[in-house]
Amino acid sequence: RAGVKFKDADLLGLPIRITIGSRALKEGNVEIKPRNSSTVFRVPKTDAIARTVGMIREMEREFAL
């Protein structure tokens, strides 16, 4: 079921996927995956917003015209 949602997010073109799963959450983490990469970053939930904002800013710099 989650795989279908991930595929839909990719089809919609969402640039970043944030997954809050039970296993990662038990460890105090969330998973962040940029669409342009196959890497999934496991980050502490307290750092998730800052890390996501950083990724967005990096994407803006990369794709700025």
* pLDDT at 55 (0 to 100): 93
* Ordered structural domains, the chain, with CATH: 2-63 (3.40.50.800)
What mean pLDDT comes out for the span 41-47? Answer: 96
Q: pLDDT band at residue 44, thresholds of 50, 70 and 90? A: very high
Q: Is the dihedral of CA 44, 49, 54, 58 positive or negative?
A: positive
pLDDT(15) > 80? yes
Residue 20 in contact with residue 30, Cβ under 8 Å? yes
pLDDT(65) > 70? no
Q: pLDDT band at residue 29, thresholds of 50, 70 and 90? A: very high
What mean pLDDT comes out for the span 22-38? Answer: 92
